[in-house]
Structures are given as C-alpha cells and as structure tokens.
Chains A and B, each alone.
Chain A
C-alpha cells in the first residue's frame, strides 16, 4: 500500500552541485507555501562548486513542524553518483521519481517502494538542442511533472516563473513551456495525484520565508551598523553579502548617493575583528561575520576588547568542527570557544537566536548590548538557521526606537566639568563611561591598552588595580544578565519532575518532540535559553526539576558544561541529549532519546531494581 498523506510528507531532490537545480527546487517549495501549506526546506550541500552531490529537502507539514523530520517519502533521484544510497533511504511504501531515459543503474531494485519513471533526458533532447538548456529545463520539467503527481496548483508555479524572470522576460515563455511539458507527461502516463498530495489551506498566515543570514544582515542594517569587516567563510559569507545588498538598497544618501556605510573584505579574520574594534572604539557600530575557524583566529582581539572594554558584534554562523571539520554541515559547537574566548580570565556575551526572525531581532539589539555593556557580543547562528529558508514571523520594527549608544560623555558634559575616569564605576552597575576620540581639546582623552590599567586608564601593574578591574568586569556580567533576552519557559499542563533546556536551531524539532513525548505519556517543562551569561530563571528552572535534559548539537555537551560551570549545578541532574553528525537535529531523534530514558525510568526505577 503506497504512502498516503495530505500536506504531510518529505520530498527530497538528489542533484549534482552546479546543475541549476537549486532555483527550480526553490520554486517548488515556494509554490507549496503559496498554497497556504507550511513547509520547511533544507539544503544539504557539499563544500564544492560543481560536480559533487547535493540534496534539497522539503518537509511539507500542515501541522507546522519546521524542524527536519528525518526519512524521505518521495525521492527525486537525479544524481547517478548517489542513486543507490538515495534509493535505499526511501521510507517503505514511499516513491522514487527517476529519469527513465536510460536503464536504471545496477543494484538490487527495491520492491517495497513505488517507481515513477519519467524520461526527462529524452523529453529534453527532443525539445532542446542547446546542452545548457537541456540541463536547466530538465529541472523545470521535473517540477512540472511533480505538480501533477502531487496535485500542486500549477498557477502558483506559473506566477513564480513570472516573478523570477521579471527582468528577463524572454525566459518566461520557455520556462512555462517546460513546466507544462512535464505536467502533461505525468498526467498522460500516471494516475495523478499519487497517495501523497497537496491541498490548499491557510496555515501559513502572515509568515515570511527568509534565510537567517539575510535576516541577521538586515538586523545589522536596522541596528545601525555602519562598518562591516569580514573574511569569506562558509556558512557566514552570505551574511556579509546580505549586508552589502541591503546597504546598497537602504543606505545611500538620497541626494548625494554617497554611502552611509563601509564594508571591507579584509585579508583575514584577524584583520576583520581588528577593524571592527578600531571602528567601535571610534564610535561607529561595527560587526564581523564568521564561523568557527574565524573565531579561533580572532581570539587575541576578543580578549583585548573584553579587557579594554570596546564594543564589538560578531555573528558566528556555526558549522561542524573541529579544524576545517564539515564546512557545509551544521552544529552548535562554538559555545565554549566564544563564551570564554581568549587567554586569561574572560567571559563574553552570547545571544542564541532560534530562527531568522530572532536573528533579525538579536542582530539589531546586539549593537545596543555591545554599546551599553562595552564588550564583544556574539550572535550565535548556525548553518541550519543561516543558510536555509525558513517560515518565520514577519520582521517588525518600532519606529520610535532609539539606539542605545551606552555611556558616552559628550564635549558639552566635559566642558561642564563632568569628571571622567575611563574605567571608573560611577553608577554602580560596573559599566564605566567612555569618550569618542576627538571629542574635546583638553578633556576626556585617554589611552586604550591591553595591558592592565587603573580606574583612570593609566598603565598599572599594581595588583590592587588589576583585581579591582577584573572584579568590575565580573560585576558587569551581572548587569548584563538583566539586560539580555530572558530565557523562555513553557510549562506543561501538569506538574512534572522533568525539564528540557534547549536553544538555537533545535527549537522547532524540540517543540515537535515535546508533542510526540506528550502523546507517549511523558510530560516535560521546556526552557529555551536565549543568552549567556545565564539569567537567574535558568537556575530556578533547574531547581524546579529532578532532572533536566539538555538538548544540543555538539559532541561535548557545551551548553551543559556552561550551566554546570556558571550555576554550580550537580552534573548528574543534567542529562545530555546530543546530536552532532552535521545534519539538522530531528524530533524523531530527540523524542527517541528522551523517551527511551524516561521509559527506562518508568519501567525499572533504580530504587526498585536494587531492592
């Protein structure tokens, strides 16, 4: 019996990198969204420009589960190189769509799945003579065929073609033609639709489809960043490129056309962060975007900015480490390296957005935090958030919002006789005042240095000055805890001894897993941590439960280590749930891992087993 479901399945396209499949696949995903059906697309791609295997997965989910599900119901196998593995990965009773022009590659055919052979190459060769056209239109023909097989509204695809080629009008007609070629073939040769199908609904609402890197870049524009210094690195490059694009659109003086921003593609990550710190010292809002290897390179400057108290915003789009690791695979593996970056005793601010919308919000507010706290602020995205389109709440901005530039003394205040000691805690919140260079002819200047200094920024090797400064930096973290985004707690309807802490891109999979677990009879309270250092609520949440699962995407349970280290929690009470193979974490994995442990507890509690 073939799989049957409406608006609830996973389709996966297996392609060759550089074959032009990406835009066709994206069009397919958008058409589903336009039918009002929530869906979640994911790119699985190699560190390569042309030739290596790449997959594009769309999870169609009327229930709105945007995390990866795992498994494939329909495989569109267009890559001979991975064909056998792709076929093997199809769920039993699932579907295989393949190019039937040539004989199927050798290998044991599966009898438990349904084959849909479309002679794509033959159709293309008959229709087109240009090899590039044959390649590109093959993808569109395939989408056309799928539209019939899945009962997709063809007018949505037609509209998308029109939008995509708005500026290249002569491409519209041939693309529409290709679309209908595929659709007609499917309608003539198969019983359409198949068991898995789409049905128009209204579950998308006002949500938008956007990549986290683009949203974070937009956040930097809205947050008032004027200087961006960066070095290309996957998966963060599209963040700096997004900033470039949005600045070109939004940040030119309407009269002179001159730029209200400066973007430097630096020689390396060290220079990038150096420029950011130089610009921020001089009163501009500045940021860099990087990934793990860049974070490693920037360490010395992070310590400098922490100790000399200079704002900086760093977007870390995390990828699987260590070393070069898996550059195109996702992980949450830089937490510790950022939280305690650089030699000596340091501690940094981390923001942990769950999706693109929060990347926009945190991307903007990070500049307020950095200016207010005069310290580096890390916005921790990952590849899953950064480089995938995701359905998100629409981006919003309050026009009455003023930037918080922090404690900056002006020339007028200096003139009026306001005392200035660069590292003096005047207000009791451990945050000192600063001046921008060039403020006043005779007052307010100081020397910025990475060597130890006293409260008035004078070089000092006196132990008492050093300790006072280091203690103040620690107190500043206390101030930070109440400024940063608070953790979000979601209590179950019934009281429970078990809690879950999670963060970042794990969120959608975790929410779905909680539903699955509830259905299995396991009640869990949830807490999504959104910033480091931890708010008091994190400690309270843990103390309210006997055991807390800490779900994260790295090998070493880095969030759990931070919690143990910072909150002095007994590690036994924090159960690590770890997913780190580079793929996006799934609800199946989380519910399986937590459920198995809870089942075990239910069946044979240790006390009873021993007695």
Chain B
C-alpha cells in the first residue's frame, strides 16, 4: 500500500516529461552506430574533392572495406585501397581499431613490396590531406565527451558535446544535429573556446542502401582556412561477407580483388 502511494506521487512527474523523452547517451550511441557500425561489414568507393580557399582541387579516390569485430559497436577493421592520385595507386592503408589500446595501423607500398607498421598518429590530423580528420572517418569514442541534449525540434536532436580532455583536441565543444527517425548526424559544428566555428560537417545526401539509411555525400568545411572537402560514396554495399583474414599481411601484399571491384 505504501508503495502504491509512492507511485501515485511520482506519476505526475513522469507526465511532465514529453512522451518521447530520450536519454542523451541513447541518441549518441544510436548516432554512432548509424555513422560507423551499420550491418556487420561494408564496402564503398569514396571520392574526395579537396578544395582550398583559392579553389584549387585535389582528388582522392579509394575503396574502403570495413568489418566489425562483433555487435557491440566497438572493435573494427578497415582496409583502404587507393586508386587516386596516381602516385599512391595500389597503396593500402589498414587499421585495426582497438578499444583497450591505440589503433594498429599499416601502410603497404607496392613499389617496394613494403609492409610498414605506422605509429598511431594524432586522431585529429588530416586524413590524406583532406579537411576530414582520421577521427571523422573512423569515429570518435562516445565516452570521450560529455553530451547534453540542448534542444530538439521536429527533425533533430541537437546535442552539445564537451571533451573530457580538452588538451587532446583542437576544439572546445561541438554541436550535432541528429536526425530523429534515422539517428544520422546531419550536421556537426566544432567551436573554439571563443565560440567561433572551426569546422563544420554536413550530410548532403542520404540513400537507402541494402535497407540501411546511408550518407552518400557529405562535406567538411574548415572555417579558418576557407578550404573544404566533398566526399561522395558510390558502389556502397553492406553485409558483403568480408572474411576476417582480409585484414592481414596476406591481403596487404595481394589485394583482395573480389571485394575491391
């Protein structure tokens, strides 16, 4: 009886909260899943156009293979096979994303038949000279920031994130617009301590691929330099059935053609 009473007292409190109230970590987890962990594996051809403030354009083209270790949205393997520019053609960049320690990275240089283990670099430096950082491509740990739901409207959850270790990153905070029904991040803006915009990410196009809503065009703008990078995905495929051993020295030296076509 006493318990019942307590329950009645609490009820109005629940009603005061909107019916679709959602835990911010839940949104962040789902957004992280949608951005980096859909299906067990995936394959895409990526075209990057890096445009500087003077309008000069550089092009990168590569095929990316991704395989998740399990369903926990943690460990992953990436195999990146370059087609353009010509001087890096057939070069391979491979990453094993570990949760308990830094990532393992390799570079394969075909002209020398050299498998080079490379030191994990600062995650917040340019990926292949673009305005995207390594972390933008492979994902930022969801526990590295403190997230707050600042607003929501018809389409988006708007989340502000503050790094737990501000020394480790170039930004003071960032804000993400997470699409409500798909949980895809549609826009992310990074700010410095003065609140000035540093960089902003935009999803430009979303397609349904193999049943998975997928961002197939996006951009990253650098507001300090005036440069930006446009990224286009084509030939996207999920649940390719990539064997785990694709991500080994064997396939660095002998590209797995079947999965790169």
Genuine A/B complex: no
Residue ranges of A at the interface with B (Cβ–Cβ < 8 Å): none
Residue ranges of B at the interface with A (Cβ–Cβ < 8 Å): none
